[in-house]
Amino acid sequence: MANKNSSVTFIVSQKEHQSRLDKTLRERYPTWGRQAVSTLLQNRQVQVNGKTVWLGSWKLAAGDRVQISQPPDNKPAKPERFDRKWLIADEGDLIVVSKPAGLLSQATRAGGEDNLLSLAQAEFGKDVRIFHRLDRDTSGLTLLTRPGPVNAYLDSAFKKRQLVKEYLAVVDDPKDLAVSGVLRDYLAQHPQRRDMMQVVERGGKYAQTRYEMVGEVPLGVALRLWPETGRTHQLRVQLAHVGSPIVGDRLYGGRTHPRLLLHAIRLRLPEAPGFPSREWEAKSEF
């Protein structure tokens, strides 16, 4: 296990001769994660034979001495099966669960990783589908459905922005945030990082988030957030842009922590013909 207060050093083996630096780091320390390894390199925290190296493609030679000055925390352990403690409600054609941090909502194109959908299908049946996704590192309320009218109802609620989503986040130092307000930005994919988004002055998609400070907590300052649009990494990007990245955000510069302190705490569905208004809450673990 990595210790964030001390450096990590290893000697490249003959088997690792001519391997890429980023690949070697991921294989030696799989609990760090791909994003954390990329961040280490970008932040100039890796040295090879005393020389700082930031290129992931750097080819190592047997006998090279690799040192990581500030090793990251380990990722949360991935569950191997659906945990019934995640279940918030099972209403027949609608299932509400609280996804743990570190678990994909569903498989990527590459496949091969455990994800909430595959675990839920093993528990509830193959006809279950993910309707409302969360980022891998975000925990909290997620909607799954079975075939039925609920899918059209949810689709309409999302398109009309009638579904109210509330998140809880912890940031390190919200010095540039008022006690409450609205964040308004345009977001686009980062030109150098396909896994990241950024705020742009031209182009991009509009993102709007209401927020309110809750107060100080042991790990920082807690915020309640209500995203009024649904852009990729919206909350993470907008808070980082105003100098208050979420604690544990490996992509956008949050203070180091074993997990991202972002949790989908509450969902409220609107009333519609045949469907009552409903609300669920998933208590956070931070």
Return the active site residues.
135
- Contact, 233 vs 223, CB < 8 A? no
Token pair 């678990």: residue = 103
Mutual angle of helices 34-42 and 21-28, in 10-degree steps: 130
Pairing state between β 262-269 and 139-145: parallel
Pairing state between β 205-217 and 220-227: antiparallel
C-alpha gyration radius of the chain: 21
- The answer to whether the Cα torsion of 52, 55, 61, 62 is positive or negative is positive
The SS3 call for residue 70 is coil
- Where does the chain have alpha helices with state H? 21-28, 34-42, 116-124, 150-159, 234-241
Closest CA to 210 of 199, 200, 223: 223
